[in-house]
Structure 1
Amino acid sequence: MARVEPVVGEPAAVADLGDERALLVADVHAGIEIGLRYERGVDLDPRDGERRDRIHRLLGETDADRLVVLGDLAHRIAAPEGDERAELTALIESVTERVPMTLVEGNHDAGVAEAFADDLDVVGPAGGILGGASADGDGDESGGVGIVHGHTWPAPEVVAADVVCLGHEHPQVRLSDAVGGSRVERAWLRGPADASVFADHASAEGDEHPAVGAREAAARDPPELVVFPAFNERSGGTWINVDGQSFLSPFLPEGLASGDAYLLDGTRLGAFRRV
């Protein structure tokens, strides 16, 4: 079975695919400082160099053969230009000189996918599969690792994977102390998918779903959903333990049957619905 393990202390994970080891991150939002300056008049010190260095450090520490960005590599939705394009070019060129780079197209990435099509392996918004169909020592075949951004429903073959990794949500928690102080920290959400949610959607769309299209198939071992924290600490997100906050993904939170929340350092906070 395919495995996805978070890198302790980092908003990143490693997928061991047998013949390849992939470093996965989500929501890099390169150019966020440029976007905030134009959109809101907020002038922040640029951290593009720090983000680039952090990715390279993680590639080295994890001995990864590939970088996979689970959508929203860029911040601004329009086609990149000017300083933002320069930042993206520097990031993509520095990574691809070292390892191949895969981008799952997020809601911010249409212009990026087109502008850098020759430099990136681009996966469409419905997602794709890393690895899979390789027999393990017992002769069983792995369904691989499904990758999707999360702003659209994943393709049927993605939900048929062993593990489905997504971004888009930027989950975070507000933690309070005994004297009334509070802080916000990024978090992971992880747990079994509710296969019936995806089956109902497939049925409503009139699609034949090979893994969960039939009602009785919902009883099989569901794939594990792993919702990634945003790589960019300035990009905000969904406070999963604050009243009145709604999820962004069309299949969350219902599609995550009984998941837990974890801090970047690995601390388990318990069921995400009750944090």
Structure 2
Amino acid sequence: MKPITGIVITLNEAERIGGCIDSLKRVCNEILVVDSLSQDDTVRIAEEKGAKVLLQEYLGDGPQKAHAVPLASNDWILALDADERLDDDAVEAILTLTLDDPSFAYSFRRRNFCGSHWIKAAGFYPDEVVRLYNRTTGGYLPKKAHSSVQAPKYASTGTHLLHFTYENLSHWVQRIDQLSTRDAWAMKGKGIPPSSFRPARHALSALVRKLLFKGGVFQGSDGFTVALTTAFHAYMKYAKLNELYENEAGPKQH
């Protein structure tokens, strides 16, 4: 196996960064943490765990994840979020990969958790994500929201990441609030115009997609939870986009 550099982006992840770094240490000989000026102990904990920390004000999802890549000592990069861990099967798979072909990028199946509850419904599993790639041929797209790895070829390891997505349902709602705000700013940066109909249209589309096409209607309370929260996220990001334009224009005169 070729040497691998682990990269994590963080913002106020003191409670989770230690476990993430410990997970990466199982397969990586170098770990870089790109921190968006955390106000908690994230940086201290990461450094105590042996990671090199780079301070960088948040640039957007793709640019932030790409920021440390040129500084890595290795060409092979394994990118995790602070709330993700390598499952045992993923560790075994990575350790057996020869990594002789730099054109390949490798994907993993995420097990998404709300607290201790593994949510499989409405597309929450297998949730395949590409995380291991060679920087000479691949990398994260420069998208400010929901970026992904682009590479010439892809292969699935068929193994798992543990994704401790939400601490509980209240945290789930809080994350939707945070992410929808970020999404709205990213859409405005791309020049997407406001629309009074778009929030409801996208929310309804998300609800139908999750309930019917992803089978949520047949998957009990988890199916409805995923469908409703996805619809809520869709509605809020477009409603917040409208709000950004309204605030920019200032109060209406009557």
Q: Please, what TM-score do these two structures have when normalized by structure 2?
A: 0.31
Q: Which has the higher helix share?
A: 2
Q: Please, what TM-score do these two structures have when normalized by structure 1?
A: 0.29
